[in-house]
Structure 1
Amino acid sequence: MLMGDILELNATKYPDKVALITDEGREFTFAELRDRSNRLANALTGLAATGDRIAILAENIVEYVDAYYGVPTANMALVFLNYRLNPHELAWIVNDANAKVLLIERHYLDAMLAVRDQFPKVEHIVVIGDASGLSGVSGYDALTAAASAAPLPRPTEDDIAWQLYTSGTTGRPKGAMLSHRSLITALLNAIIAYDVRQTDSHLYSFPMCHVAGYLITQHHLMGASVVLQRAFEAGKWLEHVEKYGCTTGGLAPTMMNFVLQHPKLDEHDTDTMRSLLYGAAAMPVELLKRAIERFGPVVCSGFGMTELGGNVLYHPKSDHVRATQGEEHLLAACGVPMAFAAVKVVDENMNECPPREVGEIVVKGEQLLKGYWNRAEATEEAFKGGWFHTGDMAWRDEEGFFYIVDRMKDMIITGGENVYSREVEEVIYVHTGVSEAAIIGLPDEVWGERVVAVVAMKQGIGGGDAVSAEIIKICRERLAGYKCPKQVFFIGELPKNVSGKILKRELRDQFAG
């Protein structure tokens, strides 16, 4: 099965069913989306060749959905560009990908043209929006309107469909190549695990330049509708749930926090929401408890990453219900392996760890990336021993539930003892004034590294020495002394990448001095 088949099959079964509703209220049926994506595919064959990379820089708009399906249908690979990066960073990715075409929303054009000399391999720039009066570029609407909606020769399932660059939390991003087979397998895994239904209406709020975009395509594969937020805003999220009767949704922890703190939260009816997925970053247990209390037994989660094309572990609603009925430890779990994924925890010699012993999560399955673009050594290292190495440290219990403890690169070694940042962060969230927290290690002449907390307080609540002492006291009451932060720094907002993961590297750089 190919990515383009998702729209083709549903345009045959449900041609007049609304497949997409944009933030502005525009509606598109499955037949309309199929024709739009085919027109884009045909237009691209006149601009690039089979196997070429097509980059896109845009927010969550219908043209992005066109590209999700249309670029792979043309047997080209869609390169996702994170609009939160600066133009120099974006130019580096475009150039690294050898992109031949750049699809770009009008309001990003001027900034990218200012660094045009940094991505000379791009032969065509296609502007989404008003392209009148512009020279040296094409207009998206004119280009696709002139193209045929007829089907094209079919790619193979092993051809690359999407190329997503890793978030770069530890260095230069790498292009993860996901084939049609990778993506379809990830979608089937998710549909089975999360019980996606044809009658669902999904509210999509993550940036479409993130691998979480598979939430859109998994719902389309089942013939379900998608309501698209151009960019997440908590008030609008609540309005959309109520207005469109959304039954499924997904939020990163930071998004969930904004929703739960919204002053009009209880003025909106969210009872239609039957499945609320959280993910993209670690969810503090205290925040999760608040979410369950407000939305009821509808929350679920999983574990995945860019290179996996989606999730490989899932933590269904039923296990969250168990957690509310006395098995609270399950709130800290991230689930069990999905149907088509092999997942285990191994030590440094690739031996599987016994229950409750910390090791690295490794994965096998057809949904894995085919490799990193032009990074043979990085690909070989990632697949050492025949399994993909996630870089996430975890343990599993006797039931098979996995529990993430840290990224390998974020683990702190102080005085020869390992400190897993998430364990300490969970304790800090016990302080009711804390909005966000990150534990990092800073160089220390005596201990090698010292444990430091960086905290953002809730709106209207200040930091200072007294609050710092309270946080440290809470930690000392619940943790071994070596795990407790020696210092607490207060900051307005923690830096994050597009998926909502806290950029601890930036925090280490900021506070190391």
Structure 2
Amino acid sequence: MRIHDILSCTAGRRADEPALIFEDRTWTFAELDRDARRLASGITRYAAPGDRIAIFTENNPEYILAYYGVPAAGMTLVFLNYRLSSREVALNLSDSSPTVLITEQKYLETARRAMADVPSVRTLVCLDGADESTLTWADLLADPVEPPTGSENEPAWLLYTSGTTGRAKGAVLTHRNVVAAVLSTVMSSEHDHEPGVMMMPWPLCHIAGYGVLMAHIRGDAAVLLRRYDTVQFLEAVQTHRVKQTTMAPTMMAMMLRHPRFTEFDLSSLKLISYGSAPMPAAVLREAFAAFPNARFKTGFGMTELTGNATVLRPADIEYALASDQSLLTSVGKPQWLTQVRIVDAEGNDTAVNEVGELVVRGDQVCTEYWNRPEATAEANRGGWFHSGDLARRDARGYLYIVDRKKDMILTGGENVYSREVEEVLHQHPAVAAAAVVGQPDEMWGELVVAFVEPRDGLTPTEEDVRDFCRGLLAGYKIPRRVLVVPELPRTTSGKTRKPELRKLLTDDRVV
């Protein structure tokens, strides 16, 4: 099965039902399928099967059409994060060598600077206004349309990892990878089979965008925001009676603490998924209280896995609230079509509650890192994809992410998992967000250093935060330094950019 088959199948049974809602316009499944096919046919005038087509915009309907239409032409869609600098965009363009670059006026100059030294880009498309050097979106569409091409084993999407641990790598996802991830997640989720409305607040350049395909395979309409804005999100839920949505912890915290939160009718929300970064338990408890009509679920996923590989179901979370709150920190159990293990350095399964690396196998695992054969071989040792995440499995089979391997801190011979310390810091009443990293030290090897982002109107002090941690953490886990910053550096998916924090310490920019 190919990606565009998802849309075509649903269009065959729900042709006149809404598929996509963006601002003041709605597309039916038949209209969306027609326009995706028009793109697949028209883009062949400017590129050939096997080419890469890059897109560098905020969320818009054209992005959704490219999700389906570019792979339907036998080409690979390259997702570019709109928050990147021209230098970073140029690196990704040089790596992927696309022949067409799609952008919008807001990012046109950045795109032009980035493509200046990338000879592969022959065609520049501007969605909202063109000149003599660019094409319009209409130029990419054709009538009549040709049948979609390509096989399920051909590359369809190319996404660059968020780069939180170094230079980004391009994960190659085939039609088979994407469809397998969609099917596995849908099969592993509770669904009442009554079509509804799903909200997509994530940037479509993030793998979380596969949620649009999940909505479409279920026959749901997807409401799309240009970019996340708390008030626009709340207004859209109320206006469109959104039934389910997915959020990053940062989005959730911003929403719950917004001064206008209580002004909106959010009673239509029945399911809220969260992920991409650890959800502080304190924020999750706030969400439970704020949405009494909604159920919650989460899981573990990453770009290379085309989304989630595990799921903590609503029933699990409800049990945790009633009987075992430690389960709230779990990422659940493997999804239906996915195998997951926890292994030691030799590749052997770890004992119950013993920390090891989480490895995954299944059709949803990316085929390779683009132009990185050594990185591909390293990640797929022994036939399993090595996630780089440290995890443990309890006696009931529930999985818990302990830390990124690169984020574990070794201080005085003791292992400190940054996530454990961050969970405690998030409980401090004056701390909105926190990130913990290791600082090299001649005596201790590394020092535990905490960066904290204050809540509005509050100013946590270093001594106050350290005092708060006493009694909640072992002495060696308490941060030696606490640095208050206006805002933590984050990716578009809400993950903290820890390399930037380490660089602040290394460069002596924080004293």
Q: Write the distance in 2 (CA, Å) between the matches of 1:308 and 1:127.
A: 31
Task: State the partner residue of 1:162.
Answer: 157
Three-state SS of the structure 2 residue aligned to 1:138 is coil
Do the aligned residues in 2 keep the contact of 1:414 with 1:482 (CA within 8 Å)? yes
Compare 114-123 and 45-54 and name the one that shifted more.
114-123
- Report how many residues are paired: 505
Task: State the partner residue of 2:134.
Answer: 137
Do the aligned residues in 2 keep the contact of 1:38 with 1:149 (CA within 8 Å)? no
Q: Does 1:431 align with 2:428?
A: yes
Do the aligned residues in 1 keep the contact of 2:201 with 2:247 (CA within 8 Å)? yes
Do the aligned residues in 2 keep the contact of 1:38 with 1:148 (CA within 8 Å)? no
Q: Does 1:186 align with 2:186?
A: no
Write out per-residue CA displacement over residues 146-203 of structure 1, whole angstroms, 9 at most, x where no aligned residue: x125242531110111010111112221110111111111001111222344512101
Give the 5 Å matches for 1:302-451: 302-451=299-448
Three-state SS of the structure 2 residue aligned to 1:172 is coil
Q: Does 1:2 align with 2:7?
A: no
Three-state SS of the structure 1 residue aligned to 2:62 is helix
Instruction: State the shift of 1:25 in Å.
Output: 2.0
Q: Does 1:74 align with 2:73?
A: yes
**Distance change in 2, residues 1:379/1:71 (3 Å):** same
Compare 486-495 and 10-19 and name the one that shifted more.
10-19
Task: State the partner residue of 1:120.
Answer: 119
Task: State the partner residue of 2:480.
Answer: 486
Moved over 4 A (4+): none
Do the aligned residues in 1 keep the contact of 2:42 with 2:139 (CA within 8 Å)? no
Task: State the partner residue of 1:14.
Answer: 14
Q: Write the distance in 2 (CA, Å) between the matches of 1:368 and 1:284.
A: 28
Q: Write the distance in 1 (CA, Å) between the matches of 2:42 and 2:90.
A: 24
Task: State the partner residue of 2:495.
Answer: 501
- Amino acid of the structure 2 residue aligned with 1:393: L
Give the 5 Å matches for 1:98-247: 98-131=97-130, 134-144=131-141, 147-196=142-191, 197-247=193-243
Do the aligned residues in 1 keep the contact of 2:74 with 2:154 (CA within 8 Å)? yes
Do the aligned residues in 1 keep the contact of 2:40 with 2:148 (CA within 8 Å)? no
Three-state SS of the structure 1 residue aligned to 2:188 is helix
- Amino acid of the structure 1 residue aligned with 2:201: S
Q: Write the distance in 2 (CA, Å) between the matches of 1:151 and 1:68.
A: 18
Gaps of 5+ in 1: none
Do the aligned residues in 1 keep the contact of 2:360 with 2:386 (CA within 8 Å)? yes
Instruction: State the shift of 1:511 in Å.
Output: 2.3
- Amino acid of the structure 2 residue aligned with 1:359: G
- Amino acid of the structure 1 residue aligned with 2:307: G
Instruction: State the shift of 1:111 in Å.
Output: 2.1
Write out per-residue CA displacement over residues 382-432 of structure 1, whole angstroms, 9 at most, x where no aligned residue: 001110000000101011111111000010000111100000011111211
Q: Write the distance in 2 (CA, Å) between the matches of 1:340 and 1:320.
A: 22
Task: State the partner residue of 1:36.
Answer: 35
Write out per-residue CA displacement over residues 462-506 of structure 1, whole angstroms, 9 at most, x where no aligned residue: 23xxx2212111212111111110110000100011211101110
Q: Write the distance in 2 (CA, Å) between the matches of 1:77 and 1:268.
A: 41
Q: Write the distance in 2 (CA, Å) between the matches of 1:295 and 1:193.
A: 23
**Distance change in 2, residues 1:173/1:341 (3 Å):** same
Write out per-residue CA displacement over residues 322-374 of structure 1, whole angstroms, 9 at most, x where no aligned residue: 11112101111111000000001100000001110000000000010011111
Task: State the partner residue of 1:287.
Answer: 283
Instruction: State the shift of 1:434 in Å.
Output: 0.6
Compare 109-118 and 176-185 and name the one that shifted more.
109-118
- Amino acid of the structure 2 residue aligned with 1:127: C
Instruction: State the shift of 1:112 in Å.
Output: 1.9
**What is the root-mean-square deviation of aligned Cα atoms in Å?**
1.1
Q: Write the distance in 1 (CA, Å) between the matches of 2:11 and 2:111.
A: 36
Three-state SS of the structure 2 residue aligned to 1:150 is coil
- Amino acid of the structure 2 residue aligned with 1:73: A
Q: Does 1:461 align with 2:455?
A: no
Percent sequence identity is 44
Three-state SS of the structure 2 residue aligned to 1:114 is helix
Write out per-residue CA displacement over residues 251-294 of structure 1, whole angstroms, 9 at most, x where no aligned residue: 10000000000112122111111110000111111111111111
Q: Does 1:253 align with 2:252?
A: no
Q: Write the distance in 2 (CA, Å) between the matches of 1:107 and 1:266.
A: 33
Q: Write the distance in 1 (CA, Å) between the matches of 2:266 and 2:47.
A: 46
Do the aligned residues in 2 keep the contact of 1:92 with 1:118 (CA within 8 Å)? no
**Distance change in 2, residues 1:160/1:115 (3 Å):** closer
Q: Write the distance in 2 (CA, Å) between the matches of 1:190 and 1:149.
A: 35
Task: State the partner residue of 1:267.
Answer: 263
**Distance change in 2, residues 1:212/1:27 (3 Å):** same
Do the aligned residues in 2 keep the contact of 1:92 with 1:119 (CA within 8 Å)? no
Do the aligned residues in 1 keep the contact of 2:80 with 2:89 (CA within 8 Å)? yes
- Amino acid of the structure 1 residue aligned with 2:383: G
Write out per-residue CA displacement over residues 71-110 of structure 1, whole angstroms, 9 at most, x where no aligned residue: 0100101000000110111011012101011111122112
**Distance change in 2, residues 1:28/1:14 (3 Å):** same
